[in-house]
Chains A and B, each alone.
Chain A
């Protein structure tokens, strides 16, 4: 069996686009999270909603910052 070259799981030309899109979505969700935290009162707040917003935002921010690092040449 001939050796097969190994490539990155995501094409490298997508890194900047992915970084911008995922960071934008992540930051919007973060903003929503903090606005919700600040405006809702103790009674009306729902923990499930807070946790889901936080989790989804951190997934987007995490991948977004990874692609930002990769596109700026810091190959982790």
Chain B
């Protein structure tokens, strides 16, 4: 009870102040003629984020058209306020969707106490006299639950203090109101008892209260048990890298803190291992991240390396990643890690009116995480221009560049920064930019030019004459030897062409035997004759150059031998060809032809063998 009284005392100053304020305001003219005919507030304290959903029924009692409703928050609460959203009430039982909401802005109305911050909600249409409108307001607060005591030992259970007003703080008169506080299923240490206070299990109900003037305030304090670990990311850097080759790479650097009651005394691993639910109830064991479907190549690591304590499963709607820190995290303890994953491009990147845009969620995929500072970096491909960002809530924007794989100038990076982020901020934001598809060829062209440079270096190296002394005997000998080699290669080339012609002649003979077409055979012979003559002519200067060179002395006899043998072979073949054609013209039978050709044939095969051997020999040199 001592704790209770402390909280009360703390609040008493404010109460007095507020009371004075409300009295002073009662005397003045009321801001507008609006009256809240019914206010129903539900505060959810089951997680580390305090979510207060207020259903307001606004009624216009005056004669002027009203299109704005003011919401008042004391500065103490505004400090913790992370998210404020308003939406028109769709009736009971309907899921509240605060993403498609009414616009909410900070307002500075005249003649209002400076210790209050006002937000104005714009109604979809103005309220005429006597009309009413029902809206839901969601306010999410972070760090609003104070651990008390602030330090606990490993075996103790975390206790939290929540402070609020049992009356709805409003610049308007409230006719009928109630507040319900939903607590986790655990012991309640104490709570402020006012008239009309009821408790149902883990829910405390204040009210209903009727006909309260504007700025009514009555502080309440709830002191309760909560075993939930408070995952607070002091800083989260999310990097989204777009590749038009089919991937959005997400890298998230977490700097995590347990924001609950701090651990007092020493930590006993033995106690923790043997009875984890008693000795270490508020330590967190794992975090669950809900990733988009078709996520691939997920990793979880820190500065040391891969952390193996993670599980991944998924279906067509989502991918779930469960990660465990390297050690259990107690109050005040910290850890830092990185998770990364790839996403298919076509789920997040779209084209509309000549511009491309990325459509991605802003917050962290980890459930129930409070982020003190969130930095989202969108790395666009190199060559993107005309960048613009559209976010559903105000963020700090800046630009930088990042050098990544195969970049020259660096990629443009859009940096979005926001403090105090809750899961309600997991809304889609868009980054628009212009990009020419041909700019995608930049990377392959860079690789190609790299390889081309290698080949060009090779060519230059082979072609360059690196010798220092151009007149030394060994250099000259090398030059001569090169010439000899070139000449021998040319000779080889010519001989092989001759051999091809020989094969053609043989083939023509086969054709003749098959079809008996003498004319075709003669034509083939004529063509071959011409070619062979030219080749023989070409051989002459080569042979002359070889004969004149000293270096060629060794190889020359072989080459000469080859040329002679080839010539012989050629003559034999031609003779055989003539004989066969002659026989066909005279219509001499097959047996006779064979007899006449037999001698030639024998010689030809011997010569053929010899030419082959010589060619092989020269090749080896």
Residue numbers of A with Cβ under 8 A of B are 1-10, 12, 26, 30, 33-34, 37, 41-45, 47, 50-51, 53-55, 57-59, 61-63, 65-66, 69-70, 73-76
Complex Cα distance A37/B130, Å? 96
Chosen A-B contacts, 13 in total, with CB atoms closer than 8 Å, are A5-B346, A6-B350, A9-B440, A37-B459, A47-B459, A54-B456, A54-B459, A57-B451, A61-B448, A62-B447, A62-B451, A73-B342, A75-B243
- Partner among B345, B357, B456, B485 whose Cβ is within 8 Å of the Cβ of A41: B485
> Are A58 and B486 in contact, CB atoms less than 8 angstroms apart?
no
Given A43-B483, A54-B459, A61-B447, 13 more pairs with CB closer than 8 A: A3-B351, A3-B359, A5-B346, A5-B347, A37-B458, A43-B482, A45-B462, A54-B458, A55-B452, A58-B449, A62-B450, A69-B405, A76-B406
- Partner among B243, B448, B462 whose Cβ is within 8 Å of the Cβ of A63: B448
Complex Cα distance A57/B59, Å? 79
Q: Which of B184-192, B213-221, B245-253 contacts A (4 or more CB under 8 A)?
A: B245-253
Distance from B483 Cβ to chain A, minimum over Cβ atoms (Å): 7
Number of interface residues of B (CB under 8 A): 48
Complex Cα distance A41/B491, Å? 14
> Are B351 and A62 in contact, CB atoms less than 8 angstroms apart?
no
Chain A residues near B475 (CB, 8 Å)?
A: none
Distance from A13 Cβ to chain B, minimum over Cβ atoms (Å): 10
Distance from A21 Cβ to chain B, minimum over Cβ atoms (Å): 15
List the B residue with the shortest CB-CB distance to A72: B297
User: What secondary structure prevails in chain B residues at the interface with A?
Assistant: helix
Report if A75-B350 is in contact (Cβ < 8 Å); known contacts: A9-B440, A41-B485, A54-B456: no
Within 8 A of A (CB), among B53-102: none
Residue numbers of B with Cβ under 8 A of A are 241, 243-247, 249, 297, 342, 344-347, 349-353, 356-357, 359, 404-406, 437, 440, 443-445, 447-452, 454-456, 458-459, 462-463, 482-483, 485-486, 489-490
> Are A44 and B486 in contact, CB atoms less than 8 angstroms apart?
yes
Report if A75-B342 is in contact (Cβ < 8 Å); known contacts: A51-B459, A58-B451, A63-B448: yes
> Are B351 and A4 in contact, CB atoms less than 8 angstroms apart?
yes
> Are A6 and B451 in contact, CB atoms less than 8 angstroms apart?
no
Chain B residues near A45 (CB, 8 Å)?
A: 462
Complex Cα distance A35/B605, Å? 33
> Are A42 and B350 in contact, CB atoms less than 8 angstroms apart?
no
Complex Cα distance A59/B440, Å? 16
> Are A3 and B444 in contact, CB atoms less than 8 angstroms apart?
no
Complex Cα distance A3/B246, Å? 17
> Are A8 and B244 in contact, CB atoms less than 8 angstroms apart?
yes
List the B residue with the shortest CB-CB distance to A4: B351
